[in-house]
């Protein structure tokens, strides 16, 4: 059995990397949504950070990245 040509292997690995990037992005969005629920419950990003044993900057940045990526509620989409 001959090994796959290198071009095919590169293409397959690039597809896998794209899938992994999408999965990581989806996980980051779900995490940010959970962090926002924590903010609703506890009252602040700092309180969520304290509860999780993380810095408030880490919580703040995760939420901000998520909010910059999603369209505002009620905004028109191109779909």
Q: How many domains does the chain have?
A: 1
Kindly indicate the confidence band of residue 71, based on its pLDDT and cuts at 50, 70 and 90.
low
49 domain residue, yes or no: yes
Range of the domain at 35: 29-70
41 domain residue, yes or no: yes
9 domain residue, yes or no: no
Q: Is the pTM value of this prediction over 0.95?
A: no
pLDDT at 77 over 60: no
What is the dihedral sign for C-alpha 16, 66, 56, 39?
negative
Check if the beta carbon of residue 45 is closer than 8 Å to that of residue 60.
yes
23 domain residue, yes or no: no
Check if the beta carbon of residue 37 is closer than 8 Å to that of residue 59.
no
């Amino acid at each position: 059995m001959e090994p796959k040509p290198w071009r095919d292997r590169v293409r397959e690995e690039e597809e896998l990397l794209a899938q992994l990037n999408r999965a990581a992005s989806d996980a980051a969005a779900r995490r940010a949504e959970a962090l926002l629920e924590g903010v609703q419950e506890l009252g602040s990003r700092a309180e969520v950070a304290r509860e999780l044993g993380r810095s408030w900057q880490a919580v703040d940045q995760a939420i901000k990245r998520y909010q910059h990526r999603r369209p505002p509620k009620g905004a028109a989409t191109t779909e």
